[in-house]
Amino acid sequence: MLSDFLNEELSERGMVLGKKNMRKKASVNANPFILELSGSYDFGFPPEFLPAGVEKDTAMPDYSEEIKELIFRYKELLMVYTCAAAEMRSRLDILNIEFSFRNNQPPMSCISTRIKRSSSLIRKMKRNNIPLLIENIEKHIDDVAGIRVVCSCVDDVYMLSQVIINQDDLEVISQNNHITDPASGKYSSLHMIIRVPVRFESSLKNVKVEVQIRTIAMDFLDTFEYEFKCKFNEDETNSVSETATDVVSDTDNLYKGKIYE
C-alpha cells in the first residue's frame, strides 16, 4: 500500500501517515492547539493532490521523493494556517481582557478556532472548479483558517469588527454582513476575511483567516436549526425555524445599545 510505503519513507522527517491522517510526532508537552492537526480529525494528505498516473493504493518508488515533497508542503501549509488562527485568536483574547477591565464586562462570550478538513477543502475546490493543486489553496480558498466569535449583542458585533479594522497591521480583504442581509443564504453572522501577519523563525507571512462574529442568540439559532433538520421533516423545521428566528431577532433588539449602559 502507498500509505505503508510512505510511513517508511517519511520516518526520516519525523512524519507518520495513518489511514485517515498524517501527523508529526510531538512531545506530550507540545501546545494542544497545534496538536489539533494530529488528532482524529480529517487533516490527512488528500490523494487528489497526487500527480497524474500515481496509483492511490500502490507503492511506486519512482515517485517517492515527489510524493514526500507534496505531503510535506501540504502539512506545512496547514501548520501556517494553524499559526495564523492562533495569532488572531491571541489578539481577540487580549481585546477581551482589555474590554473586561475597562467596561467590567467582556464583549466576547466564546472564541473558537478551526482548520478546514482535507475532505471539506477538496469538496470546495471541486465545487468552485479550482484545479487541485496545493498552491491554489492559498490563492483561492479564504477560509482554511477560521475563527468564530460569539458576542453578547449586535452592538458588540459591530464594535468588535471596527476594532479589528482599526488595527493597522491587519488587512481586511472583505466584509460581508449576513446579519442585515439574510437573503444571501448564509446563516446570521458578520463575515470578515483578514490577512494576518505571522512571524516565523526566519520569515514573516501574511495569512488569510476568516472571522465570523455573531451574537449568542444567532449562534443558538444556527445550532438549533441544524439539530432540528436532522430529526424532523422540512415543514416542521420551517415552522419552528420561523418562530425561533423571531425570538432571536427580539432578543438581539432588546439588548441593542444597552450592553454598557
DSSP one-letter string for 49-118: GSPTT--TTS--GGGHHHHHHHHHHHHHHHHHHHHHHHHHHHHHHHHHHHHHHHHSS-SEEEEEEEE--H
Residues 6+ apart with CB under 8 A from 238: none
| 36-50, 68-82, 84-98: range with lowest mean pLDDT | 36-50
pLDDT of residue 78: 94
- The pLDDT of residue 97 is 96
Which stretch of DSSP H or E encloses residue 22? strand 22-24
Predicted local confidence at residue 211, as pLDDT: 97
- pLDDT of 180 higher than 70: yes
Q: What is the pLDDT of residue 253?
A: 57
Cell match 432540528: residue? 228
Confidence at residue 246, expressed as pLDDT on a 0 to 100 scale: 53
Please report which confidence band the pLDDT of residue 218 belongs to, taking 50, 70 and 90 as the band edges: confident
> Residue 145 has what pLDDT?
97
Judged against a pLDDT cut of 80, whether residue 213 lies above it is answered with: yes
- Burial degree of 157 (CB within 10 A; 0-12, 13-18, 19+): buried
3-state DSSP assignment of residue 217:
helix
List, for residues 113-123, the tens digit of each pLDDT value.
999 999 999 99
CATH code of the domain occupying 77-220: 3.30.460.10
Write down the pLDDT at residue 18.
Answer: 38
| Residues 57-82 pLDDT 10s | 554 445 578 888 888 999 999 999 99
Question: Higher confidence at residue 49 or residue 242?
Answer: 49
Q: Which cell goes with 89?
A: 485568536
| Contact criterion met (CB below 8 Å) for 159 and 98 | no
Residue 31 has pLDDT above 50, yes or no: no
Q: What is the pLDDT of residue 261?
A: 42
Angle formed at CA 146 by CA 143 and CA 149, multiple of 5 degrees: 135
Task: Give percent of the chain with pLDDT exceeding 70.
Answer: 62
Residue 47's pLDDT band (cuts 50, 70, 90): confident
Query: Residue 193 above 60 pLDDT?
Result: yes
**Which has more confidence, 21 or 159?**
159
Amino acid letter, residue 260: Y
Contact assessment for residue 193 and residue 174, using Cβ atoms and an 8 Å cutoff = yes
At residue 211, the 3 state secondary structure works out as strand
Greatest alpha-carbon pair distance for the chain in Å reads: 69
The bridge status of strand 204-215 relative to strand 145-151 is parallel
